[in-house]
Structure 1
Amino acid sequence: MYRFAYRLAGQQQDAEDLVQDVVVKLYPRLDELEAVDRLRPWLNRVLYRQFIDQVRRKGRQGDRPLSELVAPDSHADWLDSLESDNAGPEIQLEQARLRPALDRVLATLAPDQRALLLLHDVDGWRQEDIAAVLDIPLGTVKSRLHRCRAGLRKKLQRELEPIPRGGRVGE
């Protein structure tokens, strides 16, 4: 629960508070928890709903750059998928340019879109589990994931290439 809360909240203290709120809310209902078949997705769904409630209460203040979601010393570990073992200087330069742009673009996404991308593409959750946690149909998860990736791709292209191909600076 904590790892999921940390991915949603973005800071250790907020994640701890989120998990604590859920545990305090569920503690009086322990007998009901024993009847739940798949406890992990159910708890994560409760945690997600609690997070959404907090975000709605706070407004848009919960948005943070992605760079704050990951400890500075673990940046390389977090984006391993972008690096190869034998990355040359050109690849390293491109990745150094890509990371901050990716952080900025992900920070512009709505919290539910960011949560979906982080759950699936970063944490490696199955789409079926995400559907159970978010309490939405599997087809909706697939279509939202597709739209989020397409939007992320377009925003990232604009971020990295501010001048359109074949265009002039004055256009």
Structure 2
Amino acid sequence: MAAFSQLYDSHINILFNYGLKLTIDKELLQDCIHDVFVKLYTKRTELGAIDNVRSYLFISLKNKLCDELRKRMYMSDTSIEEVNLPAPTDVEDDYMENEQRKNEFSLIKRLLNQLSPRQREALTLYYIEEKKYEDICEIMNMNYQSVRNLMHRGLSKLRTLAS
């Protein structure tokens, strides 16, 4: 139960912020978030392994909100054109793109940490700070060929690690 409470506490704010992109009805949003967690808790034995809990919660919330909004439209003769909501796919795409960027950044950081400090410094100077080889030679107090060799070994190691 403590783990479930921690899961709730760690995701409630981000789910609420995400939900505000789908609806402006804060009460409905809070109800839907709570419904998602209640369903998750009651169906926990029936669920298989969830690889990405955050994605699961986002998708569950989006589906719950869509279901509730559909019910409200059906009950109140409101047409879909009158409900002015952003397209959920845009929000999903943004979220997925952001997640992919985070994963790529994490991978790059992990790979760079496996290089020697000198290789990491040379590659950072060249690719991130966009320094020329001559500038890198001065900064690192190395001759031109040594910097080239260092860069080559660093890039070779990154290619090997990434494959």
The TM-score bracket by the shorter chain reads 0.3 to 0.5
TM-score (norm 2): 0.39
Higher RCO structure (Cα 8 Å, ≥6 apart): 1
Structure label with greater radius of gyration:
2
